[in-house]
Amino acid sequence: MSIISTILILIIAFVVGMDGILDEWQVYQPIIACTLIGIATGHLVSGILLGGTLQMIMIGWMNVGAAVAPDIALPAVISALLVCGPVALTIKHGIALTIPVAVIGQLLNVAIRKSIVKVVHRADEAANEGNLSKMNRMHLISLSIQGLRVLIPTALVMVVNPVYIQWLFNQVPAGVTNGIAASIGMISAVGFAIIINMMADHTLWIWLGIGFLIAAFSNLGIFTLALIGALLTLLYLWLVNKHQRSKPENGGNDDMDDFDKELDDL
Amino acid sequence: MVKQIHDQSSRKPRKVELRPSDFISIFWRSSFEQASWNYERMQNLGFAYIMSPAIKRLYPNKSDRISAMKRHLLFFNTSPIMQSLVTGVVLSMEEQRANGGDVDDTEINAVKTAMMGPLGGIGDPLWSGTVRPVLSAFAASLVIGGFGIYGPILFFVAWNCARLLFRYEAQKIGYQNGTDIINFFNTGILKTVTKATSIFGMFMMGVIVARWVKVNFSITDQLAEQVTKLSGHFFGKLIGSGMTAIAAIGLTLICIWLIRRQISPIWIIIGLFMIGIIGYASGILSIQAFLV
């Protein structure tokens, strides 16, 4: 691998690691992280395809409250590096690899979130001194540590001779990798289950059913379906609102205006 | 013009005021809120980091500055994108306070605490539960459907436009309305908005499960073909999509049931790998076309 692509990969790993904790720019989502690694290594097509496949697996992996989900940033970068880089694993191997790496990433993430407490105590000291720039520095140091969380393992993988990694993956029986590839469509259910579990209460299940039935037995596109969903939501709330009109209430119309705003934000 | 100047001088003069550049700087910093997420006080340093241009502008006096820094290093945790609304409200309170207004430390902290819970209740279902899955599933389907680079570009641009626009507006609205936002929360509107986002989110989850969860039975197509031969095209199609649909929703419900029993998602995934390996070896399951 050329020096330029090595440097690019390390920069990407650092940025992806930072965004993994920020959860803002979504660069760490596999569909983007794998694409970037694909560009850096010059194997864009396999990077994008791997990213799209991993995205379906990891789509619902999210931190709910303070609970930390399996890691996304590290497996996205490592898998993409091994598939698009000189090791040139197949996409099936790349997928099989993600689960153990996701567990390692999760352990690292939890350990760092604990040890960041020390950095935060330094920020407390800065507050006692009234030193704003020191406090800001502590925040950015924490961010860099999270970046290193992905950069260092990536660099370690890059140091290993590709031949050894290839040999290791050749030891995995074809039945196993093919079986894992056959389970891709099922694995996305786990992520969706996490999200549904977060949102569900007993009054909401019916909506899951309605959305499911309309989508399963029609050929409508996802944005058409989203529009139908938005209209049904508004209709339902309008009916509920109308039903409650008999009771003393004011500001009903304002409610509707706010829904419109909220839905525009979607 | 003369009248305006006269008006201003007749009122109590404003000592310090946030400048447009401060708002821009705070808005930019809000995209880095969670960098120092920790198990002790969670997003506390993140919030203080976002506030720091305002602290610098409003409190040139050292002791005021120290107390401002300390009060923003207290526990804070909410859904990251919704935090901009809290920032806006807190900015207006801090500005009042710096100009001798009747606002004390505990009040500012109470407002932060009062807002973070309800906003977390809207933010997670809305952003992580609906917007991201819908956008990224659509982007992934573009990739698998052969549109390559347009998938990731669409996802990145659409998500970040929505997010940045929301953060910008929320910060502005929070600042303009100040603590009135809290009264607004108490009118029940918040409850209805939460309800609306959850209903819409669940509907879209149903759609996504139907479109993207797939148990690849190798016999579905053959079975549908057989039925088509026997009793016509309509029934053949119904059997085919019916079987796929029942498998998809059934599997998802089983996963939810397992997650509610505190089984780690990782173990469920490993279990599904096992089913995949056994199913493929016995010829019941097949591999999706784009992976072969």
Query: Over the stretch B171-219, which tens digit does the pLDDT of each residue have?
Result: 999 999 998 988 887 777 888 888 898 899 999 999 999 988 989 888 7
Contacts of A69 in chain B (CB under 8 A): 265
Q: Supply angle C-alpha B98, B102, B106, rounded to 5.
A: 85
Residues of B in contact with A205 (CB under 8 A): 202
B114 with B243, same domain? no
- At which of B139, B170, B204 does a domain end? B204
Per DSSP, the three-state class of A129 is helix
Residue with tokens 């390996």: B277
Nearest chain A residue to B148 by CA distance is A48
B78-113, pLDDT tens digit by residue?
999 999 999 999 999 999 999 988 898 899 999 999
**Are both B113 and B146 inside the same structural domain?**
yes
User: What pLDDT, on a 0 to 100 scale, did the predictor assign at position A258?
Assistant: 52
Please report which helix (H) or strand (E) contains residue A107, including its range: helix A91-129
Q: What is the pLDDT of residue B234?
A: 72
Nearest to A104 by CA among A175, A57, A153: A153
Specify whether the CB–CB gap between B58 and B18 falls below 8 A: yes
Amino acid at B191: K
Distance between B273 CA and the closest CA of chain A, angstroms: 5
Domain count for chain B, please give it. Answer: 2
Contact residues, chain A, for B181 at CB < 8 Å: none
Q: In this structure, are B102 and B70 located in the same domain?
A: yes
Segment B257-267 shows an average pLDDT of: 91
Do B193 and B226 lie in a common domain? no
Given B204, B236, B269, the domain boundary residue is B204
Considering the domain architecture, whether residues B268 and B195 belong to the same structural domain is answered as no
Q: Closest approach of chain A CAs to the CA of B14, in angstroms?
A: 24
Same domain? B173 vs B227: no
Instruction: Determine whether the interchain pair A102/B44 forms a contact, defined as Cβ–Cβ distance below 8 Å.
Output: no
Radius of gyration of chain B (CA): 27
B-chain residues near A193 (CB < 8 A)? 252, 255-256, 258-259, 268
pLDDT, tens digit, for every residue of B21-46? 999 999 999 999 999 999 999 999 99
List pLDDT tens digits, range A60-92.
888 765 667 899 999 999 999 999 999 999 999
Q: How far, in Å, CA of B54 to CA of B68, rounded?
A: 10
Does residue B188 fall inside a structural domain?
yes
Q: Residue B139's closest chain A neighbor by CA? A: A52
Interface of A with B in 211-230 (CB under 8 A): 211-217, 222-223, 225-226, 229-230
Of B142, B202, B266, which is closest to A211 when you measure between CB atoms? Answer: B202
* pLDDT attached to residue B2: 44
pLDDT surpasses 60 at B6: no
* In a shared domain, residues B109 and B167: yes
Using CB atoms, pick whichever of A140, A183, A262 lies closest to residue B196: A262
Question: CB–CB of A52 and B34 under 8 A?
Answer: no
Does some domain include residue B172? yes
Residue A246 is predicted with a pLDDT of 58
Q: Does B139 touch chain A (CB under 8 A)?
A: yes
CB contacts of A113 in chain B (<8 Å) are 37-39
* Most confident of the ranges A24-38, A54-68, B119-133: A24-38
Query: 3-class secondary structure for chain B?
Result: CHHHHHHHHHCCCCCCCCCHHHHHHHHHHHHHHHHHCECCCECHHHHHHHHHHHHHHHCCCHHHHHHHHHHHCCCECCCHHHHHHHHHHHHHHHHHHHCCCCCCHHHHHHHHHHHHHHHHHHHHHHHHHHHHHHHHHHHHHHHHHHHCCHHHHHHHHHHHHHHHHHHHHHHHHHHHHCCHHHHHHCCCHHHHHHHHHHHHHHHHHHHHHHHHCCCCECCHHHHHHHHHHHHCHHHHHHHHHHHHHHHHHHHHHHHHHHHHCCCCHHHHHHHHHHHHHHHHHCCCECCCHHHC
How crowded is residue B117: how many other Cβ atoms within 10 Å of its Cβ? 10
Residue A93: the pLDDT is: 93
* Angstrom distance (rounded) from CA B167 to CA B87: 10
- A187 at interface of B, judged by CB pairs closer than 8 A: yes
Question: pLDDT confidence of A128, banded at 50, 70, 90?
Answer: very high
CA atoms within 13 A on the CB side of B114: 17
DSSP lists the bridge partners of residue B76 as: B42
Q: Which of A193-202, A207-216, B83-92, B217-226 has the lowest mean pLDDT?
A: B217-226
| Within-domain flag for B209 | no
Question: What is the pLDDT at residue B175?
Answer: 96
pLDDT tier for residue B1 given thresholds of 50, 70 and 90: very low
Contact yes or no for B35 and A204 at CB 8 A: no
B1 is a domain residue = no
Contact residues, A window 59-118, toward B, CB-based 8 Å cutoff:
59-62, 64-66, 69-70, 91-92, 99, 102-103, 113-114, 116-117
Same domain, B35 and B107: yes
Mutate to test the interface with B, among A113, A192, A240 (most CBs of B within 10 A): A192
Q: Where are the beta strands (DSSP E) in A53-178?
A: none
* CB-neighbour burial class of residue A94 (10 A; exposed 0-12, middle 13-18, buried 19+): buried
Domain-embedded: residue B219 = yes
Instruction: Tell me, yes or no, whether B94 and B171 share the same domain.
Output: yes
Q: Of the candidates B182, B204, B226, which is a domain's last residue?
A: B204
CB-based contact B52 A22, cutoff 8 Å: no
Dist. CA A121–CA B243, nearest whole Å: 57
**Closest-CA residue of chain A to B290:** A49
- Asked whether residue B58 is assigned to any structural domain, the reply reads yes
What pLDDT score does B258 carry?
95
Which range marks the domain in which residue B102 is found? 20-204
Helices B233-260/B189-212 angle, 10° precision: 120
How large is the greatest C-alpha to C-alpha distance in chain B, in angstroms? 92
The pLDDT assigned to B4 comes to: 46
pLDDT at B101: 87
| CA of B180 vs chain A CAs: smallest distance (Å) | 16
Shared domain for B125 and B179, answered yes or no, is yes
What tokens were used for B276? 């995949």
Those of residues 4-63 in A touching chain B at CB distance below 8 A are: 18, 21-27, 29, 31-32, 35, 44-45, 48-49, 51-53, 55-57, 59-62
User: In chain A, which residues have their Cβ closer than 8 Å to the Cβ of B202?
Assistant: 196, 199-200, 204-205, 207-208, 211
Q: What pLDDT sits at residue B3? A: 44
Residue B69 falls inside a structural domain: yes
Name the β-bridge partners of B42: B38, B76
The model's pTM: 0.89
B154 touches chain A (CB under 8 A): no
Segment of A56-60, A208-212, A257-261, B184-188 carrying the highest mean pLDDT: A208-212
* Residue A130 near residue B69, CB atoms below 8 Å: yes
What distance in Å separates the CA atoms of residue A100 and residue A83, rounded to the nearest whole number?
16
DSSP letter at A36 equals H
Q: Is a pLDDT exceeding 90 seen at residue B264?
A: no
> Would residue B5 count as lying in a domain?
no
3-state secondary structure of A88: coil
Considering the domain architecture, whether residues B157 and B24 belong to the same structural domain is answered as: yes
At B14, is the pLDDT very low, low, confident or very high (cuts 50, 70, 90)? low
Residue B7 has pLDDT above 50, yes or no: no
Is any Cβ of chain B less than 8 angstroms from the Cβ of A149? no
- Asked whether residue B276 falls in the same domain as residue B153, the answer is no
